[in-house]
Chain A
Amino acid sequence: MEVFKINIPNKKEYVISARLAATSVAGIHGYDIEKIEDIRLAVGEACNNVVLHGRGSESIDIVIEVNDELMKISVSDKGRGFVPREIQNPTPEEYAGSGLGLYIIDSIMDELVVESEEEKGTTIRMIKRR
């Protein structure tokens, strides 16, 4: 697997950098446009989750591993962590809340796992198959 890593400041202004990096890697590896759009959105939402909820983390680590079959992406912070809930489709009244981003990732990626430990941080792991 080829591995691509970047580290960005935990600031909303830098989320676009992570999105662009992920779309670039997907493009290099020949993913079609629809899947590249899915990867762009999923990485953006995962980074949003850190910016909005990863209190205490100075930066965000994005690791992309890719081969001919799939792309594995992890987005990690060293914030305070949280207790993950079951991912559900929020109602429109809840769209301003925190559940929508993870619901979107779960809908457009082939696999999603959220690992979080209090005071140690959170890692969002996603897989997109070719």
Chain B
Amino acid sequence: MAVKIRYLFSERSDRWEVKIIGEVDINTSTEVKEKLESILEEKQKSMIINAEELDYIDSTGLGMLIGIVKKLKQQDLELVLAKPQDSILKLFRITGLDKVIRIREE
């Protein structure tokens, strides 16, 4: 399965709203990383990732997200993961990533 990324900048909330659809794995995480970095190069702002259609993420995808979080934190910005599926929420909790990335379940 491929991965799709949709994004727009919300003037109202002053942050990027990104939707990742599909699977972020060893085969797609580099593509996703490059896309997220290019979005942030366009405008250095906080980012919310809508994960309701993110079907799968593995350790390479988690590592990629940590890299994005580090870049944002250097600018005092944040990454929020919204509406993750149960399996992904479980993975974030197992790895402790829920303490590094703010999760918004609804």
Task: Name A9-60 residues within 8 Å CB distance of B.
Answer: 12-13, 15-16, 19, 34, 37, 40-41, 44-45, 48, 51-52
A95 pairs with B62, CB closer than 8 A: yes
Q: With A16-B1, A100-B63 as given contacts, are A41 and B58 in contact (CB-CB < 8 Å)?
A: yes
Partner of B95, one of A37, A40, A52, A100: A100
Partner of B27, one of A12, A37, A97, A100: A12
- How many angstroms between the C-alpha atoms of A92 and B63 in the bound complex? 8
A88 within 8 A of B: no
Residues of A within 8 A of B87 (CB): 34, 37, 41
Interface flags, A82-100, vs B, CB<8A=1, else 0: 0000000100100111001
Interface flags, B29-62, vs A, CB<8A=1, else 0: 0000000000000000000000000001011101
Interface flags, B86-98, vs A, CB<8A=1, else 0: 1100110011110
- How many angstroms between the C-alpha atoms of A52 and B62 in the bound complex? 15
Q: With A16-B1, A108-B94 as given contacts, are A95 and B27 in contact (CB-CB < 8 Å)?
A: no
Select the residue from A13, A37, A95, A97 with max chain B CB neighbours within 10 A: A95
Partner of A104, one of B27, B56, B91: B91
Interface residue SS majority, chain B: helix
B94 pairs with A104, CB closer than 8 A: yes
Name A's B-contacting residues (CB within 8 A).
12-13, 15-16, 19, 34, 37, 40-41, 44-45, 48, 51-52, 89, 92, 95-97, 100-101, 103-104, 107-108
Task: List 8 A–B pairs whose Cβ atoms lie within 8 Å, in order of A's numbering.
Answer: A15-B27, A41-B58, A44-B56, A48-B25, A95-B97, A96-B66, A100-B59, A104-B58
